[in-house]
Amino acid sequence: MSTTATATGMPAAPPLPSDLEATMRRMRLPYLRAAAPEVLATAKSQRWDPTEVLRVLLAEEVRGRDEATRAARRKAAGLPAGKTLHSWREHDSSIPSPTQSALATLEWIHRGENLAISGPSGTGKTHFVEALAHKAIDEGMRVSWFTLESLTTAISRAAVDGSISKVLAKITRAELVVVDDIGMLPSGQAAAEAFYRLVDATYERRSLAVTSNIHPAGYDTIMPKTLATAAVDRLLHHAHVIVTEGTSMRLSEATNGHGVIPLT
């Protein structure tokens, strides 16, 4: 087989024999198949031990599958904005740094504990929880992300055909379930019922993280008292409760002219 020139002028690795490529396709080894020509060419020129060739090829397949799984779980989670710990400004947050570090270990998720963050708008509640959710996915966990409105819609649809238990079972396959921005919009009986059902389904089974401009103790001001009391009782039983303070980071950026790229 003759080699072809690459864009860099270096000869490309010879392609795999067709029967070998067909076998890899049948065995569903796409990442190994893609890496094999280059790895085999390198192995031949550097006289690798056969076990090293096998190790490198299998490691590439594992890497590719892990990356694809993370991408699929990130898409399925429905995370809002792609905000991670890399863009999180730790020292601008009113959450104590030791608390941030402890939560970022994700041990609380492994223990099935909850997280409730409340405080004024723009104080980093959603950003921090989303960053934790991204890290959870990176570490092989699943995440389900909702607003109270989207959760209510999902549960209300399931109520029509009697599939609430099925929908909740699907949601709680995730190790971390998030309900973001509770209290930003008015909520009624349907929202209260949906929230209670989720809290009850995750109670002592999965970790539930909630963000709100209202402390959980005040949820009875935005939803029927009986349901709010029952939900909050379960939510806070095994929960880390955090209250953020300060002015809006978004408003501060806008005031300082950092919210947009200057016009030229």
Q: Could you tell me which of 128, 126, 118, 127 has the C-alpha nearest to residue 213?
A: 118
Residue 225 has pLDDT above 50, yes or no: yes
Residues 198, 199, 204, 210, Cα dihedral to 10°? 110
Percent of the chain with pLDDT over 90: 73
Half-sphere exposure of 263 (CA within 13 A, CB side): 0
Other C-beta atoms lying within 10 Å of the C-beta of residue 94: 13
Once rounded to an integer, what is the mean pLDDT over residues 79-84?
87
- Tokens representing 186 are 């008015």
- Tokens representing 234 are 């379960």
Q: How far apart are CA 3 and CA 13, in angstroms?
A: 6
Q: How far apart are CA 155 and CA 230, in angstroms?
A: 18
Once rounded to an integer, what is the mean pLDDT over residues 199-224?
96
pLDDT confidence of residue 257: 62
pLDDT confidence of residue 16: 86
Pair 225, 100: CB distance under 8 Å: no
User: What are the pLDDT digits (tens) for 9-47?
Assistant: 556 788 888 999 899 999 999 999 999 999 999 999 999
pLDDT confidence of residue 260: 62
CA distances from 194 to 187, 189, 200, 221 (A): 11, 9, 10, 16
Q: pLDDT band at residue 2, thresholds of 50, 70 and 90?
A: very low
Report the SS3 class of residue 115: strand
Tell me the DSSP string of 167-234: HHHHHTTSSEEEEEEETSS---HHHHHHHHHHHHHHTTTSEEEEEESS-GGGGGGTS-HHHHHHHHHH
Q: Which residue has the higher pLDDT, 141 or 254?
A: 141
Q: Which residue has the higher pLDDT, 254 or 25?
A: 25
Residue type, 119: G
Helical packing angle, 18-26 and 30-46, nearest 10°: 140
Once rounded to an integer, what is the mean pLDDT over residues 178-186?
89
pLDDT confidence of residue 254: 58
As a residue count, the chain comes to: 264
